[in-house]
Structure 1
Amino acid sequence: MTDEKIGCLEDEALKRKERLKALKRKQEHKSESEVKSNIIQLPKPKFRSYNPSDDNLKASALPPAEPGNVEAEVKDQLDAANTRVVIEELDLTNLAPRKPDWDLKRDVGKKLERLEKRTQRAIAELIRERLKKGQEDLATKVAMGARANQDDVDED
């Protein structure tokens, strides 16, 4: 019985291989015909002369470019590169490094100006409110602030 099963399996394997070969041949034939049908026919290019045919245009056209003396130009460039340029004066201010936070100060400067204006407005409003409430006289406040400031200076 086992011999019959083995023979049957071998026959099925051979049949499967034949089917796969047939399928492969069919796909190859199909792909060749598709490639032939999918070839795009490009139009042949038309070469045109861009020389003007009108006499008015011929008169205003630029003459064809003529090559100059390239060797002399290259030689001049090389000579100019080999010569040393001596700097007579050296400006040390241009060589001094900038402070590390110079860019931050530059960028934040505009914002600080706006904040300074707002701060001044807020201080002015606070002073007006205190004057309206009549809590204390402005002159006594200023005098007290001046004394406190002078005491701080004396301690230093």
Structure 2
Amino acid sequence: MEQSVGSLQEQALKRKERLKALRDKKLHVSFRPQEDGEPENKKAALEETAEDKHRELKLRNYTPEDDELKVRKVPTAKPASVEEKVKDQLEAANPEPIIEEVDLANLAPRKPDWDLKRDVAKKLEKLERRTQRAIAELIRDRLRGSEEELAGAVGAVGLEEGDSE
């Protein structure tokens, strides 16, 4: 697969043309040459960049004696407080611990029968209500029975006192 010298030269020329086209495209230059051989847009682009470079004179390190130049002097910058920056960085680096959001019950290992207890919980609630009602009913019955016995005892005491009079 040897390539001839002629084909290599042709490839090199094509590469050069592509590179030149890319450079021209980058500068937005049209290929309309003037009398001196320079493209018209290229001259305009060079003039614009020259004007952009000489925008305004800023004097940072030089203290001018001329009054007109003193206006262009940039005021000296005051360094920011290092302590404040370090304090802000330390605060940002140390986030507050989030202990409130952690539920210890979720972290602790569960007993093997936790799912059985969970399933039976509703049934146990019903039974607990029934048990409380039954206990309340038993207490009421005892109070009624003790009232009757108390009334009987009071009546018996009243009869005995009535006999002695």
What range is the shorter-chain TM-score in?
A: under 0.3
Structure with greater helix percent: 1
Length-normalised TM-score, structure 2: 0.24
Greater relative contact order, per chain length (Cα 8 Å cut-off, separation 6+): 2
TM-score between the two structures when normalised by the length of structure 1:
0.25
The higher radius of gyration belongs to 2
